Amino acid sequence: MTTALITGATAGIGAEFAAQLAARGDDLIIVARDSDRLAATAEDLIKRHRIACEVIRADLTDRAQLALVEQRLSDSSRPIDLLVNNAGFGVNQSFLGGDLDSEQQMLDVLVTAVLRLSHAALPGMVARGSGGIINVSSVASFIDGGTYSAAKAWATVFSESIHQELAGTGVTVSALCPGFTHTEFHQRAEMNVDSLPEWMWLDAREVVAASLADFARGRSLSIPGAQYKMLSTLARYLPRPLVRKVANR
């Protein structure tokens, strides 16, 4: 029996990770800000899959609340086999003239929390010689899409770097880099994506299934969808001025 801890586990890709991991028999620790949604999600998972599901209410922008999750991850008496750093944060604004506190909160969730939670989880995993981390990044990490892309670029490079550092330990770190995925993320961030063509959209179930399959194969990078495999390859190998021009359009 393995145990997974998932941040941002009550909606979107995080909820799908919880559903698929529970379906295969993993016990869960789910982390989110909304107590009611946490309780409802845990109750549903326990009822449907007969697994144990612990809840931690935490706002990852709050360092004291983040520390509670760190402490759970580093508890050697209750080991965690898989950490899914999924909690999201979107800022729909230009950097110049935008709200600085919102930018800082985004970095707190997408960078600081990933850094600190990974640091808490990895020593125990390495000592046991098994387990790993999935960091939910984005194909936006390969283009210049504002501070969100910059934060996701950090998550992708961080994942690849730690994956390489841990080679031979039995521990895998993988960055999941999806493109546009049908979740409530864009609506909550007040992003207008209605004009995007259907071919650009991914299904959350397929995204998570691809991520778990790539993680099981020991891959440091998972890019679901043939369209995004192609686009991310172009973004990584075309001249950067051209990539910037296309991305801005």
| DSSP state string for 14-71 | HHHHHHHHHHTT-EEEEEES-HHHHHHHHHHHHHHH---EEEEE--TTSHHHHHHHHH
What pTM value is reported for the model?
A: 0.89
Number of domain units in the chain: 1
Strand order, beta sheet including 132-136: 53-57, 27-32, 3-7, 82-85, 132-136, 172-176, 221-222
Q: Which listed residue (148, 185, 215, 228) is catalytic?
A: 148
The pLDDT confidence band at residue 245, using thresholds 50, 70 and 90, is: low
Does pLDDT of 184 surpass 90? Answer: no
Whole-angstrom Cα distance, residue 84 to residue 175? 10
State residue 188's pLDDT score: 55
Task: Please give the DSSP secondary-structure letter assigned to residue 189.
Answer: T
pLDDT per position as a tens digit, 16-42:
999 999 999 999 999 999 999 999 999
Q: Measured between alpha carbons, how far is 186 from 181 in angstroms, rounded to an integer?
A: 9
Instruction: Tell me which residue range forms the domain holding 60.
Output: 3-248
Distances (CA, A) of 108 to 20, 53, 102, 103: 27, 26, 10, 9
199 — pLDDT class (breaks 50, 70, 90):
low
The predicted model gives 199-219 an average pLDDT of 92
Q: Check: CB of residue 162 under 8 Å from CB of residue 118.
A: yes
Count other Cβ atoms within 10 Å, centred on residue 136. 30
How many residues make up the chain in this entry?
249
For strand 172-176 and strand 27-32, is the pairing parallel, antiparallel, or unpaired? unpaired
- Residues 122, 176: Cα–Cα separation, whole Å: 18
Cα-based distances in Å from 61 to 66, 100, 104: 7, 14, 9
State how far the Cα of 195 lies from the Cα of 70, in Å rounded to an integer.
40
Q: Which candidate, 3, 5, 1, 28, places its Cα nearest to that of 120?
A: 5
Tens of pLDDT, residues 36-79: 999 999 999 999 999 999 999 999 999 999 999 999 999 999 99
Angle between helices 204-216 and 12-23 (to 10 degrees): 60
Query: Does 148 qualify as catalytic in the annotation?
Result: yes
Residue 5, helix vs strand vs coil = strand
Q: What mean pLDDT is reported for the chain?
A: 90
Alpha-carbon distance of 48 to 40, in angstroms, equals 12
Give the integer Cα–Cα distance in Å for 149 and 25. Answer: 34
CATH code (residue 138): 3.40.50.720
What pLDDT is attached to residue 48?
A: 96
